[in-house]
Amino acid sequence: MATNRGNRARQTEEVENTITYVQCDGLAAMKMVKHCHEESSNMDLAQGALLGLVVDKCLEITNCFPFPKSDDETMDEELYQLTMMRRLRRVNVDHFHVGWYQSSNVGNFLSMALLESQYHYQTSIEESVVVIYDTQKSGRGFLCLKAYRLTPQAIQMYKEGDFTPEALRNMKVGYESLFVEIPIVIKNSPLTNIMMSELCEMTPEEQGHNFLDLGTASVLENHMRCLIERVDELYQESMRYNKYQQVVFKQETEKHRALSKQAAENALRVAKGESPISEEEVLKQFRPLPVPPRLNATITSGQINTYSQHISQFCSQSLAKLFITQSLQNAKESKEVSK
């Protein structure tokens, strides 16, 4: 028994420690950024495949290509991906499938579709990751490129397909244990680093003032609007579960009343020398109610947590900008007074 537990612990550790960080090539990152911004202008969701290889504990992303956007239902996306990887192999480009990427807006990437897609990727390709690129946050000057993987508990939960509160509690699955973030680093060639250094020196000083932009009202407004929508969704889920609990309580009360009534009738029947009625006849009248799944509520809670973290981080950065701007303004005023 102890050996089995040890084997399970080692298997879990192997799954958790398959990769420790993701290394993304600069060209692949630029392709993802370009595709996500092009699709965000049309309010569409950008998705694509990640190509690369695994070296020890590092997942290297060296190339990517977008998924086709077509309304033609006859188009086979799997055949399209296989054709793309086959053609990349012919030109000596890394063609191994290591995951996929998706765009997001204000951090709204957690969903059932994301969970299902990553489950199928991770069960077929053990080292696969999903890379999320936030277009709006990156547009404000903060590159938001994050890699996620499903936890072993989330994979087991989705494999069993039981999303009841009892199952989630037994597997210790919550919104904080659905996904685990994998550190991601961007690697460029030495020539690219030299070119970027020269571009930084060529940038006029006036263009650096936008780093102190204090126009945060629109960003906070979007974050708060999305947060309110998710809180409303969580409230609706809570109301449905509370209604289910009320119906279960009412059914249990009626069941106990019926059993008590039957027990009194059985006592009279025994006193008359008649055979008592079995409890199964009464229990057949009360069928067990289906338990509502709690996975949607768990995902919504995780999305609320993501919004809260983004708001906290953005407010902290805005306060830092405000203090820096105030110091610069005071220095400018004191310099003018001295003149």
Is 323 contained in some domain?
A: yes
Please state, in angstroms and rounded to a whole number, the distance separating the CA atoms of residues 300 and 118: 17
Residues 252 and 309 in one domain: yes
Phi and psi, residue 129, nearest 5°: -135, 165
Residues 136 and 271 in one domain: no
Residues 154 and 262 in one domain: no
Residues 71 and 180 in one domain: yes
State the first-to-last Cα distance of the chain, in angstroms, to the nearest integer: 84
Q: Which region holds residue 43: left if phi is over 0, alpha if psi is between -120 and 50, else beta?
A: left
Structure-token pair, residue 219: 């960003």
Distances in whole angstroms, Cα of residue 53 to Cα of each of 11, 22, 23, 44: 22, 10, 10, 29
Phi and psi, residue 121, nearest 5°: -65, -45
Phi and psi, residue 288, nearest 5°: -65, 135
pLDDT at 320: 74
Q: What is the pLDDT of residues 52-80, one digit of tens each?
A: 888 888 899 988 888 887 665 666 777 77
Residue 6: pLDDT band with limits 50, 70, 90: very low
Is 156 contained in some domain?
A: yes
pLDDT at 308: 86
pLDDT higher than threshold 90 for residue 266: no
Please state, in angstroms and rounded to a whole number, the distance separating the CA atoms of residues 94 and 63: 7
Is 212 contained in some domain?
A: no
Q: What is the pLDDT of residues 73-120, one digit of tens each?
A: 666 777 777 777 777 777 767 778 889 999 888 777 888 888 888 998
As beta bridge partners, residue 59 has 22, 54
Residues 184 and 259 in one domain: no
Helix (H, G, I), strand (E, B) or coil at 188: coil
Residue 22: pLDDT band with limits 50, 70, 90: very high
Residue that is written with structure tokens 């020539």 in the block? 191
pLDDT higher than threshold 50 for residue 126: yes
- Helix H or strand E segment including 181: strand 179-182
Number of other residues whose CB lies within 10 A of the CB of residue 40 = 20
CB 76 within 8 A of CB 82: no
Please state, in angstroms and rounded to a whole number, the distance separating the CA atoms of residues 242 and 246: 6
Name the burial class of residue 217, with classes exposed (0-12), middle (13-18) and buried (19+) by CB atoms within 10 angstroms of its CB.
exposed
Is 91 contained in some domain?
A: yes
pLDDT higher than threshold 80 for residue 228: yes
Please state, in angstroms and rounded to a whole number, the distance separating the CA atoms of residues 212 and 327: 12
Residues 178 and 43 in one domain: yes
Q: Count of alpha carbons within 13 Å of 78, Cβ hemisphere only?
A: 1
The lowest-confidence range among 233-237, 248-252, 334-338 is 334-338
Residues 162 and 237 in one domain: no
Is 272 contained in some domain?
A: yes
Is 138 contained in some domain?
A: yes
What average pLDDT does the segment 199-207 reach? 70
Q: Count of alpha carbons within 13 Å of 286, Cβ hemisphere only?
A: 17
Structure-token pair, residue 89: 């192999």
What average pLDDT does the segment 278-285 reach? 75
Residues 189 and 241 in one domain: no
Q: What is the DSSP string of 24-83?
A: EEHHHHHHHHHHHHHHHTTTPPPEEEEEEEEETTEEEEEEEEEPP----TT--HHHHHHH
Domain boundary among 167, 196, 225: 196
What average pLDDT does the segment 265-276 reach? 79
- For the chain, the domain total comes to 2
Domain boundary among 173, 196, 219: 196
Please state, in angstroms and rounded to a whole number, the distance separating the CA atoms of residues 219 and 225: 10
Residue that is written with structure tokens 């708001």 in the block? 311
The lowest-confidence range among 19-23, 115-119, 166-170, 298-302 is 166-170
Residues 191 and 73 in one domain: yes
Identify the CATH number of the domain in which residue 126 sits: 3.40.140.10
What average pLDDT does the segment 198-211 reach? 66
As beta bridge partners, residue 55 has 58
Domain of residue 270 covers 233-327
pLDDT at 3: 39
Phi and psi, residue 47, nearest 5°: -140, 150
Residues 41 and 164 in one domain: yes
> Which of 112, 315, 304 is closest to 227 using CA atoms?
304
Domain boundary among 148, 173, 196: 196
